[in-house]
Chain A
Amino acid sequence: MILLELFGAFFEIALFSIGGGYAAMPLIRSQVVQAHGWMTMSEFADLLTIAEMTPGPIQLNAATFAGMRVAGFPGALCASLGVVTPSLVLVSLLAYLYRRYKSLSLIQGVLGFLRPAVVALIASAGLSVLLLVLFDGQRITMANLDGLGAGLFLLALFLLRRRKMSPIAVMLLCGALSLAAGVLFGAG
């Protein structure tokens, strides 16, 4: 039963994620954290970190991670199968239509409007990760502000946007700084 639920949840994630890995992220959060409660928000943030650091599509990484945690390796398999199934059906169908009509204008019209929605969805999921980093999941007050988290976030944003550093290098640096600060000052 849980295997079927995993398959269904990741089927839905794949079915509605159009336009790359970041577009899938808010869907993964809504299924895995909100609808099924398979992970806490903090575990989800760890999943994003791990998915960013490892090769492969985020949908498959998330499926394996969530599946393994909920139901072991069979869970990982069922969730991964859920990711692949909508593609198998829809890609074949779209490829057939494309060969037949050689026109993608309707699809392009749809994509043109998905993009702003997808940006907004990524912003909303990003905001929840940012709140977790800044306030450790507690109430949003100045007293609860995590100074180290805020500093690392600003540093990382600067390195990404002004210095064009690679995301993996930036994340490793943030992790190392946080570990160093924790060991030196005994924080946390």
Chain B
Amino acid sequence: MEKRMHRSAQLLRLFGSMLVISACTFGGGFVIVSLMKKKFVDEYGWLSESEMLDYTALAQSCPGAIAVNAAILVGWRVGGAAGMLAAVLGTVLPPLGILTVITMFYSAFAGNPHVAMLLSGMQAGVAAVLCDVVLSMGRGVLSQRSAIKNAVMVAAFLAVAVAGVSVAWVIAGAALLGALLQMITRKEAGA
């Protein structure tokens, strides 16, 4: 009975921690993962630092939201299926709640001319943020000096922006190419 209490207390703590982290984290998956490390590795000692590093790599490699992926891995490690559920719920509820409220306001206020001015100015800011992301990430790709990767980048842009190819096909094509080339280089290295 006492052990049961302890377990449900741990699940509650897992859920509560993810709820707070998810509700207070601006700026995407990497920020959330570093906060999770602080809480679960440094404060609670539920998993080791190297485990958390592996989980971060896995969360980034999997499709989907990085924060959700990391919550699944940590939740499973800490409390099995119930832990996974508690962690995922904690991650999902804040954005669900916050955006539900904002959407209600959005529908009511989007027609207001002052709100429209504010939003259109902020759109210019978003365009600049995206431009900044592309410049930084693009420089990262170019610095690898791989002709194939540069060609993939140009071809993907033309396919989507000019030819109107579906985004999912471009992702699948690039992934397949990467897998094939990796297998070929592996074979050559082995031979």
Q: Which A residues are within 8 Å of any B CB, using their own CB? A: 12, 14-22, 24-27, 30, 43, 45-46, 48-50, 52-61, 64-65, 68-69, 73, 76-77, 80, 83-84, 86-88, 90-92, 94-95, 98, 104-127, 129-130, 132-133, 148-149, 152-153, 156-157, 159-161, 167-168, 170-179, 181-183, 187-188
Contacts and interface: CB of A to CB of B under 8 A. Distances in A.
Contacts of B64: 14-15, 17, 59, 83-84, 86-87, 90-91
A92 B76 contact: yes
A55 B23 contact: yes
Contacts, number: 351
Interface in B109-141: 110, 113-114, 116-135, 137-138, 140-141
B129 A114 contact: no
B63 A16 contact: yes
A54 B98 contact: yes
Given A68-B104, A84-B88, A90-B64, A117 B59 contact: no
Given A15-B64, A60-B95, A64-B95, A117 B121 contact: no
A161 B124 contact: no
A90 B62 contact: yes
28 contacts: A18-B61, A20-B28, A20-B30, A21-B29, A49-B125, A56-B99, A60-B65, A73-B100, A84-B88, A88-B88, A91-B58, A91-B72, A98-B54, A108-B61, A115-B140, A117-B152, A117-B153, A117-B173, A121-B171, A149-B120, A157-B132, A160-B132, A161-B132, A167-B132, A168-B26, A175-B121, A181-B117, A188-B120
Contacts of B149: 112-113, 115-116
B145 to A, nearest CB: 12
B76 to A, nearest CB: 7
Contacts of B5: none
B10 interface: no
Interface residues of B, number: 97
A56 B95 contact: yes
A118 to B, nearest CB: 8
Instruction: Say what secondary structure dominates the interface of chain B.
Output: helix
A interface SS class: helix
B99 A20 contact: no
A106 B64 CA distance: 19
B94 to A, nearest CB: 6
Contacts of A68: 99-100, 103-104
A117 B117 contact: no
B121 A174 contact: yes
Contact of B157 (A114, A120, A171): A120
Nearest to B32: A57
A71 B126 CA distance: 27
A96 to B, nearest CB: 10
7 A-B pairs with the lowest CB-CB distances in the bound complex, closest first: A178-B121, A109-B182, A56-B95, A113-B178, A126-B130, A156-B128, A171-B125
B46 to A, nearest CB: 16
B156 A20 contact: no
A93 B169 CA distance: 23
Residue with the greatest number of chain A CB neighbours at <10 A, chosen from B61, B92, B120: B120
Contact of A54 (B95, B155, B175, B181): B95
B125 to A, nearest CB: 4
